[in-house]
Structure 1
Amino acid sequence: MNTLIHIGIPKTVTTSLQKDFFAKHPEVLYLGVGSDGEIGYADTETERIFEHLLLYARAEVFEKERDLARKKIREHADRAAGAGKKALVLSLEWLSFRFTPDMADTRTLARRLREIFGPGTTVFALLRRQDHLLQSLYNEYVKHGLPMGWGEFLEYIYKFRERNFFPDLCYDQLVESYARVFGESNLRIGFLEEYRERDGSLKTTERGYELTGAIAGLLGISDKSPALEHHNPSLSSQVLAHKLALNRSVRHDFGNLLFEHATLHRQRTAHGRDRELLDLDIYRDVRKKRMLIQEAQARARVIAPAPSGTRMETDTPLYHWLMARLGEANAALAARLGRALPEGYDLDTE
């Protein structure tokens, strides 16, 4: 039986693959995330392993519970074999991207995954041009409460580049992190642009999508694919501007204080035992986010947004510096892979 860890990256139809392909394929025992159609896992213990222990726990805590995590994965593998499944799959885009500053760095995550899953596990990363990805990420961060304008967002990336997600956008470093612990032969790299038409839709064959067909080939399963729905659409420019204005007055998620969590609802299994001691409203920020998006959408229908900083200017010295560094990383990745990367990965802004 094949075991696959799909590490993302974000904004590469990840949610669609999770909910519509991995979770529904009859030959796959899917661990999560999204195994229940939302943010769930195969069970609450598995959710705690991957949403809390792996991503956030200090080294001594992880080491204390590592053997229990290994045992749980072996149980899933045995259950998959007993049910006649051909593949065991974990998919979580945060394994390739430090979404919140308090997450473990990618190299730590790679080591922890190797210790839990063991040798012979295949790691699959689907990459995307960083200039397009960065704009999509900014939209996602504002959706989740970020109170920064585009220029402030770029400044944050630059000023704190040694501690935020910027190294994860340097794909040569991302590949090195996983190749170092899983081995080059167990690492598979894809590029979203090679599976997309020019209009952004996914390429298809008579069997379904080329992307799911390629993943099926890695897993040794049927390549027959169901429709992939669009689960996480970006906000329009008008709604984005209104949402940013609302974020600045109603704090939630990435507008929370330093000692608050930006994705509290994803820690529901970790904090379940604490509810007798703490007055926790796990889904507080989720409700705020949804309410504010609805309010922003309503405002966008009747009110032109005031200038708020969401215009994504790309002709600035800081943006050029970021693209130059990421272009160098892509050149290093191309040399490592021994192939040319898809069009535009040189990130030439001239």
Structure 2
Amino acid sequence: MKKIWIHMGYPKCFSTSLQKAFFEKHPEINYGGMGVGDHLSFANDGLEFVFQSLLQHANKPFFDRNFKEAKNIVDEFVNSTNKTTVFSLETLVFPFSSLDFETITERINLLFEDYEVHILLVIREQLDFLKSLYGEFLRMGYPETFSSFIQWIWGYRDRNFYELLNYHQVYNSLKQNFGDTYIHLQFFESWKSNPEIEINASISQLLNITNKNLPIWNDNPSLTKQQQANLLHVNQEFRRGMGEHVLFPYLNHLNRISLNRLESSYSNEEVYENILTKRLALNKMRRLPQQPFEDFYKLPAPSVDILKKMQQEWKITNQRLMDELGIVLKNYL
């Protein structure tokens, strides 16, 4: 049975660096994407359709009708070479869609049932992760403060990504779907001090390929607090993306192949509207006088109390994960 690797995320955990600087560049990897040639593309349009539409967004009837074609697309790519096949999409574990994580993993299992699937998952201490994710939300037009962000996560945890911050629960869900020995956890903090050395060493060893000591860079650095303060001001004045209506996806450019296949008749300007408005907003951010940002992450009530509850839950679930793995991660307690 042929082995494949799927890097599922998390976002803001060196995902772009893995995609652009390692998976795409390593000569012993047959890389399907995301991030082939640019930041959006897969190795071909078929794979982009499979990963960006069928696995993450398609309703069951549409998925079922297109499953056979998707299976052929995957099989053709995997069997085109004897190199180590890798796919990467950080939103597989952290979906921005109406589908939940469990449905996505079930579909991956169906699509890759003929292969030995190894899952690579990179996690990050939860509060640090949320601060970085908040910056990414600001890029996408989110018009609320960090305090409101925390309150929304807690208040709507029955329907948002809060459960995905329970790493022990996610780890066990993946084990049940793919098997105990096929889930490979890596930790953002262990790479952070020297990404070039640590990523090359750990991922080369995991994938059983030669350590080429590839240059590792970051094409998507986090916004500074000053930049976040200015961009928040722009988002509140200039509604776009996450600050607009809910029916038109704020990540619509990721649906470009699906929209073309569905003969949607959207123009390129409409498909890439969120990209264009993001660039405009970032330019506005840079030209603004500096907005107040002192104690930008200091939370008022009730958010400060909410965060304490969240951190207490994370401490418990992180300890369960460490007990299961037989390791100690001080940053997670």
TM-score of the two chains, using structure 2 as the length reference: 0.93
Q: Secondary structure at the match of 2:32?
A: strand
- Secondary structure (helix, strand or coil) at the match of 1:71 reads helix
Give the CA deviation at 1:276.
6.0
**Does residue 345 of structure 1 match 2:332?**
yes
Would you say how many aligned residue pairs link Structure 1 and Structure 2? Answer: 327
Aligned partners of 1:246 and 1:117: how far apart in 2? 44
Counterpart residue identity of residue 179, structure 1: K
1:214 to 1:136, Cα distance in 2 relative to 1, 3 A = same
User: Is residue 2:207 matched to residue 1:215?
Assistant: no
Structure 2 counterpart of 1:159: 155
Are 1:63 and 2:49 an aligned pair? Answer: no
Partners of 1:310 and 1:114 in 2: CA distance:
45
Task: Provide the rounded CA distance (Å) in 1 between the counterparts of 2:101 and 2:200.
Answer: 25
Where structure 2 has 5 or more consecutive residues not aligned to the other structure, the ranges are none
Q: Once the 2 structures are TM-superposed, how far is the Cα of residue 155 of structure 1 from its aligned partner?
A: 1.1
CA distance in structure 1 between the partners assigned to 2:92 and 2:290 by the alignment: 38
* CA pair 277-131 structure 1, distance change in 2 beyond 3 A: closer
* Structure 1 match to 2:242: 254
Letter in 2 for 1:320: K
The aligned counterpart of 1:183 is: 179
Contact kept, 8 Å, 1:29 with 1:89, in 2: the verdict is yes
Give the letter aligned to residue 161 of structure 2. Answer: F
CA distance in 2, matches of 1:327, 1:77: 40
Quick check: 1:8–1:94 contact (8 Å CA) kept in 2?
yes
Q: Does 1:304 align with 2:299?
A: no
Q: CA RMSD in A?
A: 1.9
Q: How does 1:71-110 map to 2 (within 5 A)?
A: 71-81=72-82, 85=83, 87-98=84-95, 100=96, 102-110=97-105
Cα distance change, pair 336–314 in 1 and its aligned pair in 2 (3 A): farther
Letter in 2 for 1:270: S
User: What is the letter of the counterpart of residue 114 of structure 1?
Assistant: N
- 1:272 corresponds in structure 2 to 260
Aligned partner letter, 1:296: M
The offset of 1:319, in angstroms, is 1.1
Q: Letter of the 2:320 partner, please give it.
A: A
The percentage of aligned residue pairs carrying the same residue is 27
Q: Which residue number in structure 1 is paired with residue 276 of structure 2?
A: 287
Q: Once the 2 structures are TM-superposed, how far is the Cα of residue 196 of structure 1 from its aligned partner?
A: 3.1
Q: Offset at 1:235?
A: 1.6
Structure 1 CA distance for aligned equivalents of residues 127 and 280 of structure 2: 30
Query: Per-residue deviation at 1:63?
Result: 2.1
1:168 and 2:164 matched = yes
Q: Which amino acid aligns with 1:52?
A: S
- TM-superposed CA distance for 1:326, in Å, is 1.6
1:220-274 CA-to-partner distances (Å, cap 9, x unmatched) read: 2111131111110122222211111111222222112121212011100011145
Tell me, yes or no, if the aligned pair for 2:200 and 2:214 is still in contact at 8 Å: no
Q: Match of 1:238? A: 226
TM-score with structure 1 setting the length:
0.88
- Amino acid of the residue matched to residue 77 of structure 2? H
**In structure 1, distance between residues paired with 2:273 and 2:57:** 21
Aligned with 2:313 (options 320, 325, 333): 325
1:166, 1:276 → 2: CA distance?
A: 33
Q: Which consecutive unaligned segments of at least 5 residues does structure 1 have? A: none
Determine if contact 1:3/1:219 at 8 Å carries over to the other structure: no
Instruction: Report the Cα distance in structure 2 between the residues aligned to 1:142 and 1:277, rounded to whole angstroms.
Output: 29
Asked if residue 134 in structure 1 is aligned to residue 120 in structure 2, the reply is no
Mapped to 1, the partners of 2:267 and 2:219 lie a distance apart of: 32
Range 315-324 or range 284-293, more displaced? 315-324
Distance 1:288 1:48, change over 3 A: same
Answer whether contact 1:123 1:188 (CA < 8 A) is retained.
yes
Contact 1:193 1:342 in 2 (8 A): no
Give 2:102's aligned amino acid. R
For the 8 Å contact 2:6–2:119, the answer to whether it is kept is yes
Structure 1 residues 276 and 340: alpha-carbon distance in aligned structure 2, compared to 1, 3 A threshold: closer
Q: Which amino acid aligns with 2:328?
A: L
Does the CA-based 8 Å contact 1:123-1:186 persist in structure 2?
yes
